[in-house]
Amino acid sequence: MKHNIVETVIGAVVLAVAVVFVVFAYNASGVRAVSGYDLVARFERVDGVAVGSDVRIGGIKVGSIAAMELDPKTYLAVVRLSIEPAVKLPVDTVASISSTGLLGDKFLQLVPGGEEKMLAPGGVIEFTQASVNIENLIGQFMFSQGGTDKKGDAAAPAAPKL
């Protein structure tokens, strides 16, 4: 009987420590969705971002992606953003899909323009840049390295420099 009480107390302590760790990790991560005003942006492709992904200006999180859907008429990805109320964006703001590194997480980057007029809640960001498909870039790089000689035949590879 004595072992059961000790094991129960140790199990409760382990569970309490696990709960404290999860709460700490959640608070430190900044994963919470930003509540603010909504904006809309339309992209040709939104590879790598999802609902809840960060919206950043200059590397600082100022919002999150609230929803994504396909426009059946234009076949563009419609992305709804939730932006912090303190952040006001000019009408010529540019939205693009960026990543934190070569293989890092993707996020939506906003680059404010110089216009005096600001986007109203529910406004549309007109200037967007779709995500870059890294596999296509690598393929283009690999297959564009070989040149052609004057006859149109593939040139022999250059000898390595020593």
Tell me the domain boundaries of the chain. 32-132
Tens of pLDDT, residue by residue over 85-126, are: 999 999 999 999 998 876 778 899 999 999 999 999 999 999
Whether the model pTM is above 0.85: no
Query: CA–CA distance from 10 to each of 1, 7, 53, 56, 109 (Å)?
Result: 15, 5, 38, 44, 47
Tens of pLDDT, residue by residue over 14-48, are: 988 888 888 777 766 655 556 789 999 999 999 88
The pair of three-digit structure tokens given for residue 45, joined into one six-digit string: 């492709």
Residue 98 has a CB neighbour count (10 Å cut-off) of 17
CB 62 within 8 A of CB 33: no
Burial of 79 (0-12, 13-18, 19+ CB in 10 A): buried
